[in-house]
A and B are shown apart, each in its own frame.
Chain A
């Protein structure tokens, strides 16, 4: 499936490209953080501490208006004063309006983004490749019907379609027990479940499979009439055998490159949906940005930190996508995109 030549191309491109190394490094850090979040995070990301709300990150200061009733000359008066909110080493990146630790929330948020990206893309790949190869291999009316359907799907901006489907179908969440907590490796105070926006995963797969279908169809079409495929068929190979043994392996390279780019696009789509409040995710970068937006003038860090995390993750994945594309040189045009 992966030939020695492919591996050699990947390696030589990697040794030449500084950006590819940077991409791998960034993604490795984010992946490590996501996997071991319960061990690395200083706090439970959902734990509220109203006495320590809106604490700025280390090295910054913030003031807050506080009103209190005080005795002035024997009379009770309402006094408004500016109070300096002190930073604390317990919250290196500060806290949000409910006193939740921004660093811990950002670390846990990585899990939502990466898992939605991974699951969403996997479903889209399976769906798209199945449809695309069927259409390309059999051709004729099946091909026409499937591709016209794909055109109608593409005639709709994916974010708008996703908003419509999730807004109308409601939000279902997917709970996976966190193995680190379940096996007692991480503190039992950490959340025991990883909660993922289930509807979002289904919907992003549903709006993105078409890209894979188009690429897989193109590959199937170009392979279908090759001599070795004809030979396999004339030797009595069943359609399924020919598809699995000959057509599918040929489609893998472009699908892999496309999948990398799509993970980045789906992470952006998930964060947009969470930001708009459609995903139902309570622990996600997009959701935290939406929360922080309300306190922009007093507590800028709440919206800033998770946004930087998104940019970092997507830059890392895009750099890896560039590396794969340059090394493997598949023939794909148009790449899905950011919302």
Chain B
């Protein structure tokens, strides 16, 4: 099957890119000034103690041995131990993944749900107040730094109007489902629907502002792309033919024209994935959201190398995976690329 072969090829390329990322992240430590031992050892550590710490961390081995050890460890899911917390780096890093994924997905949902109808309306009612409004929104939206937008949302909606909480993530999306499936003494306890709904509400209230903060840039971008794409498609001969055939206008707009517009939108979104992940990092910092972004920043500040490397590798791998997903989506929407 053509799509299968296409995905296999992209998968192999993806593995190579991940290997490149792992190598770059590994080498980062060696082109960074400062000896990791300094950050772990007590200030008055003797030379023997320092040598002993270096040996324990495997830092006395030649570079290629450390590299081989690191790759073998990674393949077994071992990222080493956090210098400061002493626990396994992989556990710490993976525990942060759901928060970041939730944020990125919520932002994408916000963007798609708002932007596509807005772009279609804007394209079909050109020079209408709605069109000018949408154009202005998308211009300002792609020009606003999202950390500042987040702070302004906190200022107005949390501090002044007291509608949303200012920060944190007290409960994860999937954690709320634990209220539905609880086991007590080996028996399934009755479902606690009230607690489940409460948890879901708490989750929604806390993710609302971060999701809007991260999603605004993409909402603006997709609105812009949808508008220009739709304007182009609606001028095509097949649209005229469909109209002549007497098809309802809504069917023409939302089915035929929009479907062809989605192809360039998916392309640009694929190219903008780095922006989504970078934006997630800074959004997490604004809202004290416990994801990979805050982990990277915190561990860089204390030079906790296993955590720095682990989180960078997970971010890079996630990025490659979403890219493959976007390519597959693209191939599905536009079967010509597969052949």
Taking Cβ atoms with an 8 Å cutoff, the residues of A that contact B are 19, 148, 151-152, 154-160, 163-164, 167-170, 264, 268, 271-272, 275-276, 286, 289, 292-293, 296-297, 300, 303-304, 307, 310-311, 314-315, 318-319, 333-335, 337-339
Contact call B315/A157, Cβ cutoff below 8 A: yes
Residue in B32, B148, B297, B316 whose beta carbon sits within 8 Å of that of A156 in the complex: B316
Contact call B301/A167, Cβ cutoff below 8 A: yes
Interface size class of B (residues with CB under 8 A): 35 or more
Contacts of A154 on B, CB cut-off 8 Å?
A: 274
Once bound together, how far apart are the Cα atoms of A314 and B303, in whole Å?
34
Given contacts A155-B320, A307-B144, 11 further A-B contacts (CB under 8 A): A155-B316, A160-B312, A160-B315, A168-B28, A275-B147, A286-B147, A289-B147, A297-B159, A311-B148, A338-B142, A338-B275
Contact call A303/B146, Cβ cutoff below 8 A: no
Once bound together, how far apart are the Cα atoms of A195 and B303, in whole Å?
27
Contact call A337/B151, Cβ cutoff below 8 A: no
Residue in A168, A300, A318 whose beta carbon sits within 8 Å of that of B300 in the complex: A168
Q: Is B334 an interface residue (CB 8 A)?
A: no
Once bound together, how far apart are the Cα atoms of A224 and B300, in whole Å?
45
Residue in A164, A168, A272, A318 whose beta carbon sits within 8 Å of that of B142 in the complex: A318
Contacts of A286 on B, CB cut-off 8 Å?
A: 145, 147
Which partner residue on chain B sits nearest A168 by CB separation?
A: B32
Contact call A152/B20, Cβ cutoff below 8 A: yes
Contact call B278/A315, Cβ cutoff below 8 A: no
A155-B320, A338-B142 are known contacts. Are A272 and B147 too (CB-CB below 8 A)?
yes
Q: Is B177 an interface residue (CB 8 A)?
A: no
Contact call A296/B151, Cβ cutoff below 8 A: yes
CB distance from B27 to the nearest CB of A (A): 12
Contact call A155/B139, Cβ cutoff below 8 A: no
Taking Cβ atoms with an 8 Å cutoff, the residues of B that contact A are 16-17, 20-21, 24, 28, 32-33, 139-140, 142-148, 151-152, 154-155, 159, 217, 221, 267-268, 271-279, 281-282, 285, 293, 296-297, 300-301, 303, 308, 312, 315-316, 319-320, 323
A311-B143, A333-B267 are known contacts. Are A157 and B319 too (CB-CB below 8 A)?
yes
Contact call A293/B151, Cβ cutoff below 8 A: yes
Contacts of A303 on B, CB cut-off 8 Å?
A: 148, 151-152, 155
CB distance from B28 to the nearest CB of A (A): 7
Contacts of B301 on A, CB cut-off 8 Å?
A: 167
Q: Name, among B139, B159, B312, the residue most crowded by chain A CB atoms within 10 Å (CB to CB).
A: B139
Contact call A334/B268, Cβ cutoff below 8 A: yes
> With contacts defined as CB atoms under 8 Å apart, how many contacts are there between chain A and chain B in the complex?
148
Contacts of A160 on B, CB cut-off 8 Å?
A: 277-278, 281, 293, 296, 312, 315
Contact call A337/B272, Cβ cutoff below 8 A: yes
Contact call B282/A159, Cβ cutoff below 8 A: yes
Once bound together, how far apart are the Cα atoms of A275 and B300, in whole Å?
16
Once bound together, how far apart are the Cα atoms of A152 and B285, in whole Å?
26
Q: Which 10 A-B pairs have the closest CB atoms?
A: A159-B278, A334-B271, A307-B148, A167-B300, A337-B275, A314-B143, A152-B20, A157-B278, A157-B274, A157-B277
Once bound together, how far apart are the Cα atoms of A19 and B28, in whole Å?
44
Question: Chain A's interface: helix, strand, loop or mixed, by majority?
Answer: helix
Contact call B146/A339, Cβ cutoff below 8 A: yes
Which partner residue on chain A sits nearest B315 by CB separation?
A: A160
Once bound together, how far apart are the Cα atoms of A19 and B136, in whole Å?
10
Contacts of A337 on B, CB cut-off 8 Å?
A: 217, 221, 272, 274-275
Once bound together, how far apart are the Cα atoms of A18 and B275, in whole Å?
29
Contacts of B281 on A, CB cut-off 8 Å?
A: 157, 159-160, 163
Contact call B151/A289, Cβ cutoff below 8 A: yes
Residue in B17, B33, B147 whose beta carbon sits within 8 Å of that of A151 in the complex: B17
Once bound together, how far apart are the Cα atoms of A10 and B146, in whole Å?
32
A164-B300, A296-B155 are known contacts. Are A155 and B272 too (CB-CB below 8 A)?
no
Once bound together, how far apart are the Cα atoms of A170 and B32, in whole Å?
9
Which partner residue on chain B sits nearest A155 by CB separation?
A: B17
Which partner residue on chain B sits nearest A308 by CB separation?
A: B148
Contacts of B323 on A, CB cut-off 8 Å?
A: 155
Contacts of A264 on B, CB cut-off 8 Å?
A: 143
CB distance from B209 to the nearest CB of A (A): 13
Which partner residue on chain A sits nearest B317 by CB separation?
A: A155
Once bound together, how far apart are the Cα atoms of A339 and B275, in whole Å?
5
Once bound together, how far apart are the Cα atoms of A59 and B49, in whole Å?
64
Contact call A339/B159, Cβ cutoff below 8 A: no
Once bound together, how far apart are the Cα atoms of A339 and B159, in whole Å?
25
